[in-house]
Structure 1
């Protein structure tokens, strides 16, 4: 039996088991048939946050941001570009701390934007402040 990786569908939340060797082949969800990776950050809420963090076998990079934050708005295109470069090895996600204040409080987010890298359900690294795409990719790769 081949080595497999669990991936949470960004559309329906189903947990998919994908052969690790096929991650780069644009896998689709077995339940909703949508692409598991779209080179676009996933919006996380209080309802789906734990599932993505705990059930995905790949690391999850979360951008804690707010719509009124100028640096957050400036970093958004860079985060999109980083998603194109890092998927499918890393899932990129965003948490709107204005809409989800409990998540911001739970992770003691004191400044935004803040990037938090999760692996195996636990936070393994954190970086406050806006960054460019190349810097985001380098930072993630240096932490994995």
Structure 2
């Protein structure tokens, strides 16, 4: 089973990292290089438009403990809801403009996008079952 979890790494040529495994690895390690593939988009909006299924975006920071715990829960959501929803992560320290644009005031914040528009917001650490229950009415 392939888990799709998008780790957003926007730059001039926006690159989105797609982990092939739910393993937690340091992004600079050789193991990470073997597990991750990149897909490029011009910007965040293009990514939102690209996917037909809803996109659950986790706004996080690397220094945030609850955000790290939430990542594991999102891998579970991504694997158990494959085909229904895709999961993406945006580092708000690297891309504060996206956090500002979507009024992210606390971390972690997850926003479900459908048709490129935000339809539901969750703030704080949630378990996978809670996340699935929250987003189910919007799928």
Q: Mark yes or no: TM-score above 0.5.
A: yes
Which structure's CA Rg is the greater one? 1
Residues 1:44 and 2:8 aligned together = yes
Instruction: Identify which of 79, 86, 100 aligns with 1:84.
Output: 79
Q: TM-score, normalised by structure 1?
A: 0.69
1:132 aligned partner: 127
Q: What SS does structure 2 have at the residue aligned with 1:102?
A: helix
Q: Structure 1: where are the runs of 5+ without partners? A: 1-25, 27-37
Q: Distance in 1 between matches of 2:54 and 2:69?
A: 24
Q: TM-score, normalised by structure 2?
A: 0.72
Q: Distance in 2 between matches of 1:125 and 1:60?
A: 11
Q: Distance in 2 between matches of 1:77 and 1:40?
A: 13
The answer to whether the 8 A contact 1:85-1:137 is kept is no
The answer to whether the 8 A contact 1:66-1:97 is kept is yes
The answer to whether the 8 A contact 1:83-1:91 is kept is yes
Q: What SS does structure 1 have at the residue aligned with 2:56?
A: strand
Q: Structure 2: where are the runs of 5+ without partners? A: 15-40
Q: Distance in 2 between matches of 1:136 and 1:40?
A: 16
Instruction: Identify which of 65, 68, 90 aligns with 2:63.
Output: 68
Q: What SS does structure 2 have at the residue aligned with 1:44?
A: strand
Which runs of at least 4 in structure 1 moved beyond 6 Å after TM superposition?
none
